Structure 1
Amino acid sequence: MITVQNLTKRYGDHVAVDDVSFVCKPGQVTGFLGPNGAGKSTTMRIIAGLTPATSGSATVGGVAYTDIPNPGTEVGVLLDASAQHAGRTGAEILTLSALTMGLPRRRVDEMLDLVSLSPKEAGRRVRNYSLGMRQRLGIANALIGDPRILILDEPANGLDPAGIHWMRSLLRDYANRGGTVLLSSHLLHEIEIIADEILVIGQGRIVTAGTKDSLLAGAGTRVRSLDDVALFDALRRADIRTQAVPDGGFTTDATPEEVGRAAAAAGVALIELRTGDGAQLEEMFLQLTADTQREQPTPQGAL
């Protein structure tokens, strides 16, 4: 289990992490979402004992990471796949980890096989690895000690679709066997697929947290008709705020009943009317972190 309580990190006047609290439970994948600079990586570095907190606490398995005698056998960490020694081979990096943790040499071959790095690839220097190969090596290094907890920052970067599917299956199986996973990603669709719990962070604070279903429930209504111009006018007259959807129709903050009554009063035939629990996580994420985004939506008609 990972437990974070009232965690704060300041760099001078800048507050990178602001009173953050959450729990990652065994048997679950916890997805950690937020724009660049929102505080995800800083939080994970504090949990992994690499950055001291200004205040608050972060524990893994009930103790601080720095107090674990042989941490690699308890907590697997991958924070930056590019931070591996470029002059060593993949096999050498895993061998050094195994020796440091007091593990048998066979774990190296087991991990190389697990992440599908061939003997030829394992014998190449890391400077010649693609980002996807470095990610696979980093995941192997995180798992070599057979830890109960995984902390992974953007592990899907550089992986092709087949690699992402492989990683998703690997982490799902790990959690199903009782492991605890904290996974950060900007790939919202991947988090939506794999995460049991979702944390959304913006400007250093947890904006919302919960299961995917609980976060998307009550997210409004998705509606579409054969005449979206007439539908827009009907909803506007009913004082229902709308947001256009690229493939047609609108999302609204109103209930399906309110939307349906407004459409019926205007004689607009609907071809889709459903609750927000079918909405995309990306839409919810952008709404919740709108104030922290560098890129603001382009006003209609501005192009």
Structure 2
Amino acid sequence: MISVDHLTKRYGGFTALDDVSFQARPGRVAGFLGPNGAGKTTAMRVVAGLTPASGGTATVLGRPYAALPTPGRHVGLLLDASAQHAGRTGREVLTLGAILNGVDRRRVDEMVELVGLTSKEANRRVRNYSLGMRQRLGIAHALLADPEVLILDEPANGLDPAGIRWMRDLLRGFAARGGTVLLSSHLLNEIERVADDIVVIGNGRVVAQGTTEELLAGSGTVVRSTDDAALARALESRDVAVSPVATGGMLAETDPDTVGRVALEVGVALRELRGGDERGLEEMFFDLTATSAREEVAA
């Protein structure tokens, strides 16, 4: 279990996290989403005890990360796949992790095989690894001590389609055995496939959270037409609320049949008409974060 309660982090006059609260529960994968600069990485670093909070609390398994006895045995972390000693081999990185966490060294070979590194690759120096290989090594290190919790920041970066599918199956299997997963990713389709719960953050604040089904259920009708402004006026004159959709068109708070009849009455041709519950995670994400993206600020 990961619990974040009213978490705040300030850097001088800049507030990176503003009253953030959410949970990641055992047996479930929690997807943590937000545009660049939204505060995802800062929140994960606070949870992992790497960045002190300015206010609020973040606990893992009921305690602050630093208060856990031998934290590496309970929590597997992958926050930056590039932050590995470039002069060591992959096997040396894992062996050192096993020694530090009091793990049987036989786990090293098990993890090398689990993440799909060949023996030759495991004996290669990390400086010669591709990004995808570094990600696999980082995941192996996170799983080395058979932890109860995984905290992974963009673990799919650099993985090919087969690798992404492998990681998806790995995380689903980990959660199915009762583990807790907190996962951030820019691959929205993958989050939609693997996450049981979703937390969306923008400008340092949680803008939506709930189960994947709840957040994607939606309501109303998504419509695009040859004259959205005219159609919006016609719908509003009939007491139908409308709102723009970040990816184009608008969301009308009524059923598709009503929208179609109104469009016919005012002579507006429709380009798209579908129930709001058909919207995917990508559209929901852009709708929620369109006004909070901050490309110039570090996450």
Q: Same fold (TM over 0.5)?
A: yes
The residue that corresponds to 2:195 in the other structure is 195
Residue 175 of structure 1 corresponds to 175
Q: Is the 8 A contact 2:246 2:286 kept in 1?
A: no
Which position in structure 2 is the counterpart of 1:156? 156
Greater relative contact order, per chain length (Cα 8 Å cut-off, separation 6+)? 2
**Alpha-carbon spacing, 1:274–1:92, altered in 2? closer, same or farther (3 Å):** same
Residue matched to 1:253: 252
CA distance in 2, matches of 1:284, 1:88: 43
Question: Hey, which bits of structure 1, 4+ residues long, moved more than 4 A?
Answer: 230-236, 240-246, 266-273
Alpha carbons of 1:6 and 1:232: their partners in 2 closer, same or farther (altered >3 Å)? closer
Q: Distance in 1 between matches of 2:220 and 2:269?
A: 20
Per-residue CA deviations over 1:88-135 (Å, capped at 9, x if unaligned) read 000000000111111111100000000000000000000000000000
* Counterpart residue identity of residue 58, structure 1: A
- The aligned residue for residue 226 of structure 2 is 229
Number of aligned residues: 290
Structure 1 segment 68-217 matched on structure 2, within 5 A = 68-217=68-217
Is the 1:101–1:145 contact (alpha carbons within 8 Å) kept by the matching residues of 2? Answer: yes
Measured against aligned partners, the alpha-carbon deviations of 1:198-231 in whole angstroms (never above 9, x if no partner) come to 000011110110112211233431347xxx4378
Structure 1 residues 184 and 245: alpha-carbon distance in aligned structure 2, compared to 1, 3 A threshold? closer
Q: Which residue of 2 aligns with 1:299?
A: none
Rounded Cα–Cα distance in structure 2 between residues aligned with 1:269 and 1:37: 39
2:23 paired residue number? 23
How many angstroms apart in 2 are the aligned matches of 1:230 and 1:23? 43
Deviations 1:143-193, CA, capped at 9 Å, x for gaps: 000001000000011111111111111001111111100001111111111
Identity between Structure 1 and Structure 2 (%): 63
Structure 1: segments with no counterpart, 5+ residues: 296-303
Question: What RMSD, in angstroms, separates the aligned Cα atoms of the two structures?
Answer: 2.3
* Residue identity in the other structure for 1:95: T
Distance in 2 between the 1:243 and 1:51 partners? Answer: 38
Name the structure 2 match of 1:298. Answer: none
| SS at structure 2 position matched to 1:83 | coil
Measure, in 1, the Cα distance between the counterparts of 2:106 and 2:189: 36
Query: Normalising to structure 2: TM-score of the pair?
Result: 0.89
Q: Does the CA contact (< 8 Å) of 1:235 and 1:262 recur in 2? A: no
Counterpart residue type for residue 91 of structure 1: R
Q: Secondary structure at the match of 2:82?
A: helix
In 2, distance between residues paired with 1:281 and 1:213? 10
Q: For residue 238 of structure 1, what is the amino acid of its counterpart? A: L
1:67 partnered with 2:64 = no
The farther-off stretch of 253-262 and 3-12 is 253-262
